[in-house]
Structure 1
Amino acid sequence: MTGPGGPAPQRPAPPPGLDPLTGQDPVHLGGHRLLGRISDTGNGVVYGAVDVNRRCAALRTLPTRDRVTLDRRVEALCLSAAVCAAPVHTVDLSGPVPWIAMEYVPGRDLDTHVRSFGPLEGAHLTGAAAGTAEALGALHTAGTVHGDLAPDRVLLSPRGPRVVGAGLADETLAAAGAAGWSAPETAHGGAPGPGADVFSWACAVVLAATGRGPFGRGTVQEIHERALHGRFDLRGVPEWMAPLVAKSLHPDPRARPGAHALARALLPRGATSALPEALGALLAEHWRGFDAAGHDPVLWSMAPERATRRRPGRGIRWGRTGS
């Protein structure tokens, strides 16, 4: 393709683990070089990026329909702090394309791992369940929800489980979430609350422990009916863990436990330190055998610089709430 200034520059192939950028994708955003695509959620594109300090990031573009709500959600996400959630690096909501850059988490998602290697067992299952609950609890304490938790939003990294894609889902899309993962109160357009996250957490735990969802197969309507009436199958979930999962799948969100209470209940009895420290100790002792699945961010920082440079970003910036 040739433009007014001559042939268009060829974009280098992305590092392993990333899909190529399209012709519509930017090359730089803020102080980040965009090296390739991680995913396109339909609610914003997630890019693999490197910032001016050579930190690798998952940079996500955000919807612009309601900047007031977006400001509130991103601020809550920045305030939340969890062992098992990717921290925020940089935010810019002021431009025509708002974005947020978070620490990149290498590894397989829960669904891919279970399909490839089978269900989690023992301390791996406990760590994944407790870590996911801890990350959700941090969001709830900060005043927001994940709103779109599904097995592909739980990554099993070499350092522990990590919850990604948090707090920024369009409520309309989140409420219509996949059958078998979304809470019954959101099935007809209700906005997800903390209880909906807990319900989705329980579905993910059942998948991690058994390789299947708790409501079996069938049409969307059949699965929603089972969820609405509490007809779930927990066979294969460890006996000691099953009561926690069952309570979390209760059709009434008011009857479900809180996420932090779940995380604490899953940790070894007798653990007296604060939740982050106790969870960190569990993962440090038992989390072994999870690799980066070929998604090596070290290769990102070694990727060749493109010819075009832009002025680096200025860290976290809170943009205008108007259009």
Structure 2
Amino acid sequence: MSRRSQRTISVLVPPNLIPLAPEDPRTIGPYTVIGRIGSGRTGTVYAAVNPAVTSDAVLAVKTLHPSHLTDEATLVELEGRLRALAEVDGRCYVPPVAFDARATPPWLAMPYTSGVPLAQYVRKRGPLGEGRLVALAAGLAEGLSALHGAGLAHGDLKPSNILLGSSGPRLLDCALPGDATMLRSSAAWLAPERHLGDPPSPAADVFGWGCVVVFAATGRSPFGMGLPEEVVPRIAEGAPDLAGVPAVLEPLLRRTLEEDPRRRPSLREIMGATIAVWEASTAALHPEVPGTAVTQLLTHEWQGILEPAGLPRVVHLDGAARSGRGRGLLLGGAAALVLALAGVGTWAVVSATSDAPQAAPSARPSLPSSPTPAEPVSEGPDTAVVRFGAVPQPSPFEGPWVYTEVEPVEDAAPSPSTDDGRPPTPQEWSARWRDVDEVAEARIAPDAEVRCARFCMIPGQVSVDDEGHGTYPVTGQDLIDYLGWGDVVIAEVTFADEEGEDGLPEIVAVTELLPPSSG
């Protein structure tokens, strides 16, 4: 952090930093807020700096929803947990550096940490190879050991709470007291005793470790996904699906996923077993490197994971963060890689499906086959045509999801796609729409009805009707998964009649729009 004047500093900020809205705070505790990272189930996370400190540290400062902290006993428990977490080794877990559970709203500050969430990495690039998978397994076990050594259980271990950086995996987002919604949103990753009401424990973390490693190896939860009432019975039956897991790890993983917590291995056993697997499966001799066996494993196997680079920004410390780009978002070159910032609380939602009745879209815009789309028709304020994906999603696994309302560009030049009959690329199609409002946020219902045309979830296919409306059915959760890494999507969305508990609108139906082929 270099000083430009008494009231101005230069810092590196996350490439997906969102400008502050009028209702956002400009200061939290001693920190000057410079942008918003995103919001989730338990609160909102901001990027901030401390004007009194001359280091180059940008912090992630999270404000907690007061509704989760309704009584004195919960506040006392929160203070004790945050105080203990602050003492955990920061090499494996990102601890709070400051907090105030008695503020209005309560807040905690953590070091800004760059990396890629495991959930996003696997969904974009596929399961990890055996060497990197074993390194992940050992690194996570080491991180859990650091927590357990401090008398703490993580309590909410799942792929979105694991950050992959160049030096290895790091744990994020321990469970917080007062968060009654965690059991529902994390159902597929929690041990059976947690679903029966038991508190977080080391044995339950071992179960979560097994679920996460299976996901990293296969791209799916060992007990499948769905609503809690669908997933919990499968967990209770104790029959995980380990198809696709490397054979050398299957016996260990099966033990970690035992229904009876007394039959699960200890973390010491897990680390010993993973190191043994690595040594036995590697024919080449490794040169000696300093550090523990886990450090040596990571040194040899943890290659090729790049952290998104920060962007330089001048910050004015006069109570209002300014930028020469106005309300435009600061975008990095690797727009598909969304930064995960460390914190306490959870930013992820398990993938869910539902057989519940689904809302149908309202009146749809008519899309001609000519290069210039027709003006969309909207009946009432509950339907809009929007652009997803031009801006990286700040919190791509729990949301909210950002979008911009758009309208056709009347005088757009003919797209090359009309010359040879092929559908346009996402960028060509997006260029034929202009923004008519600022960036906004909404929830997407996991069971929302989604009709894809080309770009959302069906690569290489085109599924449209004669007017260019998508016809390929997927769920809202499928679209949520896609928005973390996919191309831009132009879609008509339908909003629920009432806002959610967090005051954000909820999208209950989505239809992707694409001009019909002229061929």
What is the CA distance between 1:218 and its match in structure 2?
5.4
**Hey, what does 1:286 align to over in structure 2?**
301
CA pair 210-303 structure 1, distance change in 2 beyond 3 A: farther
TM-score by length of 1: 0.79
CA pair 191-286 structure 1, distance change in 2 beyond 3 A: same
CA pair 219-152 structure 1, distance change in 2 beyond 3 A: closer
Counterparts of 2:226 and 2:104 in 1: how far apart (Å)? 43
**Hey, what does 2:315 align to over in structure 1?**
304
SS of 2:315's partner is coil
What is the CA distance between 1:117 and its match in structure 2?
0.6
Counterparts of 2:148 and 2:57 in 1: how far apart (Å)? 28
Whether the 8 Å CA contact 1:147–1:174 is kept in 2: the answer is no
Whether the 8 Å CA contact 1:107–1:157 is kept in 2: the answer is yes
What is the CA distance between 1:284 and its match in structure 2?
2.6
Counterparts of 2:291 and 2:254 in 1: how far apart (Å)? 25
Whether the 8 Å CA contact 1:83–1:280 is kept in 2: the answer is no
1:148-190 Cα offsets, whole Å, 9 max, x none, are 1221101111221111112435453333343321211122433
CA pair 98-184 structure 1, distance change in 2 beyond 3 A: same
Written as runs of structure 1 = structure 2, the 5 A alignment for 1:125-204 is 125-168=133-176, 170=178, 172-204=180-212
Counterparts of 1:169 and 1:120 in 2: how far apart (Å)? 33
Choose from 216, 222, 236 the match for 1:208.
216
Written as runs of structure 1 = structure 2, the 5 A alignment for 1:3-42 is 15-42=14-41
Q: Does 1:97 align with 2:105?
A: yes
CA pair 171-97 structure 1, distance change in 2 beyond 3 A: closer
Choose from 95, 116, 123 the match for 2:124.
116
Whether the 8 Å CA contact 1:107–1:291 is kept in 2: the answer is yes
1:104-162 Cα offsets, whole Å, 9 max, x none, are 22122111111111111132111211111221221122122211122110111122111
Choose from 57, 77, 84 the match for 1:55.
57
Counterparts of 1:172 and 1:104 in 2: how far apart (Å)? 27
Counterparts of 2:90 and 2:83 in 1: how far apart (Å)? 15
Counterparts of 1:77 and 1:276 in 2: how far apart (Å)? 24
CA pair 27-260 structure 1, distance change in 2 beyond 3 A: farther
Counterparts of 2:225 and 2:107 in 1: how far apart (Å)? 37
Counterparts of 2:175 and 2:227 in 1: how far apart (Å)? 28
Counterparts of 2:149 and 2:233 in 1: how far apart (Å)? 31
CA pair 95-218 structure 1, distance change in 2 beyond 3 A: closer
Q: Which moved more, 1:147-156 or 1:98-107?
A: 98-107
What is the CA distance between 1:71 and its match in structure 2?
1.7
Q: Which one-letter code corresponds to 2:25 in the other structure?
A: P
Q: Which one-letter code corresponds to 2:319 in the other structure?
A: T
Whether the 8 Å CA contact 1:37–1:46 is kept in 2: the answer is yes
**Hey, what does 1:266 align to over in structure 2?**
274
What is the CA distance between 1:260 and its match in structure 2?
4.1
CA pair 307-76 structure 1, distance change in 2 beyond 3 A: same
Name whichever structure is richer in strand by fraction.
Answer: 2
1:26-53 Cα offsets, whole Å, 9 max, x none, are 1222333323333323212222233332
SS of 1:284's partner is helix
Counterparts of 2:269 and 2:91 in 1: how far apart (Å)? 16
Whether the 8 Å CA contact 1:15–1:303 is kept in 2: the answer is no
Of structures 1 and 2, the one scoring higher in RCO (CA 8 A, sep 6+) is 1
5+ long unaligned stretches in structure 2:
1-12, 281-285, 321-519
TM-score by length of 2: 0.51
Q: Does 1:256 align with 2:256?
A: no
1:232-255 Cα offsets, whole Å, 9 max, x none, are 111111112112211111111222
**Hey, what does 2:228 align to over in structure 1?**
220
Counterparts of 1:260 and 1:41 in 2: how far apart (Å)? 34
Whether the 8 Å CA contact 1:156–1:290 is kept in 2: the answer is yes
What is the CA distance between 1:214 and its match in structure 2?
0.6
Q: Which moved more, 1:226-235 or 1:21-30?
A: 21-30
CA pair 258-17 structure 1, distance change in 2 beyond 3 A: farther
Q: Which one-letter code corresponds to 1:46 in the other structure?
A: V
Whether the 8 Å CA contact 1:74–1:167 is kept in 2: the answer is no
What is the CA distance between 1:94 and its match in structure 2?
4.7
Higher alpha-carbon Rg: 2
Q: Which moved more, 1:66-75 or 1:81-90?
A: 81-90
What is the CA distance between 1:276 and its match in structure 2?
7.0
Q: Which one-letter code corresponds to 2:155 in the other structure?
A: G
CA pair 56-159 structure 1, distance change in 2 beyond 3 A: farther
Matched residues, percent identical? 39
Q: Does 1:77 align with 2:85?
A: yes
SS of 1:26's partner is coil
Q: Which one-letter code corresponds to 2:296 in the other structure?
A: A
**Hey, what does 1:67 align to over in structure 2?**
75
Counterparts of 1:81 and 1:15 in 2: how far apart (Å)? 24
